[in-house]
Amino acid sequence: MPSGNAPTVRQRRIGSALRKARDHHNLTVATAARRFGRSQGWMSMVENGLQAIAPEELNDLLDLYEIEHGPLRQSLLHLATHQPGTWVRAFEYRISAAALDLASLEEDAAETRNFEPSVVPGLLQLPAYAQKVIAVGNVKRPHDVKALVDFRMSRQRVLNRSDPPRYVPIIAEAVLHNQVGGDPTILRTQVRRLAEVARRDHVDLRVLPRTASEYLGLTTSCVLLSLRPPGRLTVSVGDHRAGSIFVEDEAEVATDEQTFKLLLSATLSRTASLELIERVASQS
């Protein structure tokens, strides 16, 4: 699980945008590399996300491809300029590269949308709740649990900073009743925490009611991260038994966004969601 690899999603995202721009001009990798004054191998590495590119070089390459000033150019330069926070790098060799990637992107997100059908979203979990959820998936590696819980708690600082992203989590109503660890106190405290966070201006917590359970078949747990500055760069992250899957293809991401929009249309309003959460909390 632990990995010392630096997060690579931002490099892959830059690379795919550069490849698309090169294709738009009908240039081969060799021709583009020659015009830019770099080797073909270097150009291929950058386009495949295997080579970091300095912001200055990226700016020049965007000029070569005639990418005008605007959201796309801003977003790409932001990805090249902003590196993961110190706290993220502190978890290298202890946390998987995919988890480091996720935290890095959460830091850069202008908006984060999340759907969870079974458990409370990671950014909203309390330590006791997170410990029970994480331990189940790490029976063979119990020594990893503490590091994973600490990492999840550290990720939550993104919602507490002075310029937090807009956060739109959708949870199935069952999440409010699904006990973890066989201790009702954990769920009771967790639901109260949800009610508290749902009152924040930048959080739009929605509940998918049991009467709309047919929508649960649309997708599994997923996260959509729209990167700063607001532009055209959005990454979709899905859960899989073997780990997180990052989707960067624009057409696939667009499909995931439409799915999320459909889920959102079936949820209770923000006010009704909060009222339900508070009612469950009071009954616990």
Residues 150-208: tens digit of each pLDDT: 999 999 999 999 999 999 999 999 999 999 988 999 999 999 999 999 999 999 999 99
Quick: pLDDT tens for 5-17: 444 688 888 998 9
Domain 89-283 has CATH 3.30.870: yes
Domain assignments of the chain as residue spans, ordered by start: 9-81, 89-283
Burial class, 110, CB count within 10 angstroms (exposed 0-12 / middle 13-18 / buried 19+): middle
Q: How far is Cα 138 from Cα 144, in angstroms, rounded to an integer?
A: 7
Multiple choice CATH, 9-81, 2.120.10.80, 1.10.510.10, 1.20.140.10, 1.10.260.40: 1.10.260.40
pLDDT higher at 105 or 34: 34
Range with lowest mean pLDDT among 26-35, 68-77, 225-234, 266-275: 225-234
Mean pLDDT (the chain) is 89
What confidence category does residue 3 fall into, taking pLDDT thresholds of 50, 70 and 90?
Answer: very low
Q: How far is Cα 120 from Cα 130, in angstroms, rounded to an integer?
A: 9
Mean pLDDT of 16-36: 95
Helices and strands (H, E) in the chain, number of each type: 12, 6
**How much is the pTM?**
0.83
